[in-house]
Amino acid sequence: MQGKRVLITGGNSGIGLVAARELASRGAEVVLACRDSEKTLAALEVIGAGAEIAPVNLPVDLASFTSVRQLAENFLGKYDRLDVLINNAGTMPSKQVITEDGFEMQMAVNHLSHFLLTHLLLDCLKASAPARVVNVSSMLHKKSEMDLATFTGFDKYKMQAAYNQSKLANMMFTVELAERLAGSGVTVNALHPGAVATDIVRSFPWVVQKIVGLLFISPEKGALTTIKLAGDPEMENVSGKYYDQCKLAGYSPVADDNIQRVAFWEASERAVGL
């Protein structure tokens, strides 16, 4: 990763922090995109301890499209190249929340804000080619269909169903973007990190959090697929694929349905104002 610049959302905890730390230790210049917080300051120290180039944070609230646009503006005002964009951050609220922009929180944070951020940085990625986009999805995307009407909220909110659909959105975005970027030198791939014990479950009852901590794999193991897709030289020309714990895997047929995928893409564009 010598000479490579990496921008990662949600790099202040969980698999994002481990991936950022490992990529920095391999020579990458790491830029976090997180809320300004004590947790983020602590993460910068952890990442910086083994880094050749000191990491920085560009603040963002992924529940706000205005904030995402400001992040992109700040990044492009400071940097002239981007080698790897890792769309890692995620949320999973137990009760339905509607963002300031009028969208269901999981779809807004897990998909729409990353969709917007990626588009705002596409010219920079193309100018930096070969470059990569890495989208953190989940195997749970296979349990969902895509209902565009729920972008603005569910009549009956179920946390898991909303999460699964947001992860399907990550996969559909990956496949469509890879097709649109064919020949540009920018690759796009998605991944399932494994069942990882991270603070995405912070809204769960404490008993459930305890069980998750005991049964799920560590963030260190969970980050391995992100690291592979971001840095493995063998991945340079691979695009539009899905990796499950470092292995190439099959994904939902919904993501291969061109009609659904294009409708989803256009709905995402309208939602974020592109």
Among 163, 242, 243, 251, the active-site one is 163
pLDDT of 222 reads: 78
> Residue 236: is its pLDDT beyond 60?
yes
pLDDT of 214 reads: 46
Show the domain range for 142. Answer: 5-272
Give the total number of structural domains in the chain.
1
Torsion of CA 70, 85, 167, 142, to 10 degrees: 160
DSSP class of residue 88 equals: -
| pLDDT tens-digit readout, 58-91 | 999 999 999 999 999 999 999 999 999 999 999 9
3 state DSSP class of 31: strand
Determine whether 163 is an active site residue.
Answer: yes
Residues sharing a CB contact under 8 Å with residue 227, sequence separation 6 or more, in sequence order: 19, 22, 23
pLDDT band at 274 (very low <50, low <70, confident <90, very high): very high
As a whole-number percent, the residues of the chain with pLDDT over 90 amount to 88
Query: pTM of the prediction?
Result: 0.92
Q: Which of 22-31, 82-91, 160-169, 206-215 has the lowest mean pLDDT?
A: 206-215
Burial of 158 (0-12, 13-18, 19+ CB in 10 A): exposed
| pLDDT tens-digit readout, 146-200 | 999 999 999 999 999 999 999 999 999 999 999 999 999 999 999 998 665 455 4
Q: Check which CATH number belongs to the domain holding 249 and give it.
A: 3.40.50.720
- Structural tokens at position 62: 């992924």
